[in-house]
Structure 1
């Protein structure tokens, strides 16, 4: 069923068994669906009660769920072996073009792993949408309980790095750098806990699968040491990865899976709208249950930086033998606060500017207003009080919150 933003439908399991992306519904439990596209699946059949009218609703006889369950069984057996041997559980990379159900498959496999007693880690490389936190982020979070149908993935202790762009194409070098930073920290965490190590990792990839996007996908597989690659709904990509990854690491297993029939193709406008909704949810919550604080600070008291030394000149425009000198990882301090209006700023844990690209971020603020005469900015923060740090990273995309 599809329920647009601003509308709500209430579901209740009356009899039988049912699940939403692998999260089991309890008998009598009332679940609210709003601004979501969900599939309710039953292995044996069930009766559901519903209040409200979805925008689209239908029943499908064809489903890839048996394939997904088989994958879970194989991964679960590997986790059991890893725990006995005190080794590494499966690291699974889910890849495919846009709108084939990659995020849904990740949720299903995460939930099945949790229901089997594991605590896998989920890493989201799709910076355009942001399922863990705001768009523009490479992020990871431990998953120790089934993903909440209403609230989504857990965000109590996420590990977040801010690219500040909705697409890796804006700064591919920064994307690579932050993937490697995330991989390093996840490696340290896995080595410190045998259960975490055996539980493994699920990685959701972006939908950019050609040319540079394809190279970035291969880099992510290698950086995160993924041993299983699940290719959803793309024969050509499956063939390419099977050939290329076997050359670099013959142990990597590349498997092909059908796309889910319930997947909805989203337009560019719908994706932009989804980004705005994700930012709003960060500050206000899924059900507008949070109360963010609007605060004013002197701009000179904050150190705001932007990543990237400006656009690189194309090689054809340079003198023969010359190379572009723009540094894609260069940090430039922003001196004009007007640039920051309607942008997201990441508040860094970094103690000094040189470490801004090595240390994860604490959270985000949204610049609502700039008073150039007074030298102040007014920003929206998740809670009142001083910021966790004075070093901030500016994003390159604008978000216009109501």
Structure 2
């Protein structure tokens, strides 16, 4: 049974069991391993060292050989003896073998690498390209972190690809991103942000503009192919791809688009027999794609839409202020004429005169549309694009984000907050439907 923890509580965990913890919204906890060894999502916890976990977090502390865990503060926690961890680590062992084979094959061949991606790159030794799929609240993000953490503990540097726009594991929600994982993911601070490749979708729901989502998935995959073609180490380590929980209808089509765009060769299906069956039928004639059904953990907690929105606000705030309010964002303002704001999607695809008689023009979901700066942009989160020209905005990655704090129509000034001081790296800004109020 779950127990409400307060002050200091110790839990003795037996071999291959886990302590499942939910931190409330009004509190934080401090946690340490007193004896034995334990890990959170594949990252081993340092012994006798207190870690602080902030409000709203849900996680599990697993031990392979037994451990004693001390929690200081108020949270909900219980010990579970039945977990799918053995099957998860067995998957990791198979992926490890594939990485070793790819590395050894690369070392035994001398290949002149192309300066740009071409057909020859497909013949180069490849490590596993793993995509984790399943409905919402099936444990995809947790399994992804485990596989990345275990690989990093064995000195690989796998690439993490996040296609889950509603969550924002790498940076703010509404983005698609990729980053190399050079060490186990910090259980408190999360994914490192040294060199992420980030694309701005601008919405937390893929149905807002599925064509734009498809285009960004394709572009992210293309850029990673170029990087892999020139980096044998990254190629052998492979990638682990996290996906969204929309797996029905158009969501399934987007899932297939992601699998094919990244040339995924291992599909891990969590928590749904129907999805496993659909994918098996889809790829039964395609050699070299392994589809593996895995049980979801009993510790996976269903999250309400209200909880998800609150976590999105937390992630956005962390971007500007840091996990522990240790960053000092910079307030600034610019003239309306100093920046250009655009959206993706809108405007007719063709003039009415060019359409068949009786046909109505439809919106072009991938068109770059200029936005008139007005009070409608107040509290918007805008992406600062690396695009050189507006027509490159759809497929250009971004430098970072600002949020709009004031629109002064009379003075034609836009005030914003950025995570660091100095001028913006570019004057081309992208808007979506993301809003945030401090």
Band the TM-score falls in, shorter-chain normalisation: over 0.9
Change (3 A) 1:324 1:223: farther
Matched residue SS, 1:38: strand
What CA distance in whole angstroms lies between the structure 2 residues aligned with 1:305 and 1:142? Answer: 30
Matched, 1:27 2:47: yes
Output one character per residue of 1:313-363: Cα deviation in whole Å (capped at 9) or x when no partner.
xxxxx9888375321111111113322111110001111111111220000
Match of 1:306 among 343, 346, 359: 343
Deviation (angstroms), 1:264: 0.9
Normalising by structure 1, report the TM-score.
0.95
1:1-400 matched pairs, under 5 angstroms? 1-35=21-55, 36-54=57-75, 56-86=76-106, 87-247=125-285, 249-309=286-346, 322=359, 324-400=361-437
Output one character per residue of 1:159-185: Cα deviation in whole Å (capped at 9) or x when no partner.
000011111101000000000100011
What CA distance in whole angstroms lies between the structure 1 residues aligned with 2:89 and 2:412? Answer: 58
What CA distance in whole angstroms lies between the structure 1 residues aligned with 2:237 and 2:161? Answer: 14
Is this contact kept in 1: 2:348–2:361, CA < 8 A? Answer: no
Matched residue SS, 1:112: helix
The 10-residue stretch of structure 1 (28-37 or 195-204) with the greater mean CA deviation from structure 2: 28-37
Change (3 A) 1:373 1:40: same
What CA distance in whole angstroms lies between the structure 1 residues aligned with 2:97 and 2:288? Answer: 17
What CA distance in whole angstroms lies between the structure 2 residues aligned with 1:101 and 1:92? Answer: 15
Runs of 5+ in structure 2 lacking a partner? 1-20, 107-124, 350-354
What CA distance in whole angstroms lies between the structure 1 residues aligned with 2:319 and 2:26? Answer: 16
Which 4+ residue blocks in structure 1 deviate beyond 3 angstroms? 318-325
The residue number in structure 2 matching 1:315 is none
Runs of 5+ in structure 1 lacking a partner? 313-317
Change (3 A) 1:82 1:263: same
Matched residue SS, 1:89: coil
Change (3 A) 1:232 1:323: farther
Output one character per residue of 1:100-149: Cα deviation in whole Å (capped at 9) or x when no partner.
11000000000000011100000000001111011110111110011011
The residue number in structure 1 matching 2:110 is none
The 10-residue stretch of structure 1 (390-399 or 67-76) with the greater mean CA deviation from structure 2: 390-399
What CA distance in whole angstroms lies between the structure 2 residues aligned with 1:283 and 1:198? Answer: 35
CA RMSD, aligned part only? Answer: 1.5
Deviation (angstroms), 1:398: 2.1
Change (3 A) 1:81 1:323: farther
What CA distance in whole angstroms lies between the structure 1 residues aligned with 2:274 and 2:34? Answer: 43
Is this contact kept in 1: 2:24–2:74, CA < 8 A? Answer: no
Deviation (angstroms), 1:28: 1.4
What CA distance in whole angstroms lies between the structure 1 residues aligned with 2:202 and 2:338? Answer: 22
Matched residue SS, 1:396: coil
Matched residue SS, 2:89: helix
Output one character per residue of 1:42-64: Cα deviation in whole Å (capped at 9) or x when no partner.
0110112221121x100001101
What CA distance in whole angstroms lies between the structure 2 residues aligned with 1:230 and 1:320? Answer: 49
Deviation (angstroms), 1:5: 3.7
Output one character per residue of 1:76-95: Cα deviation in whole Å (capped at 9) or x when no partner.
00000011112110000000
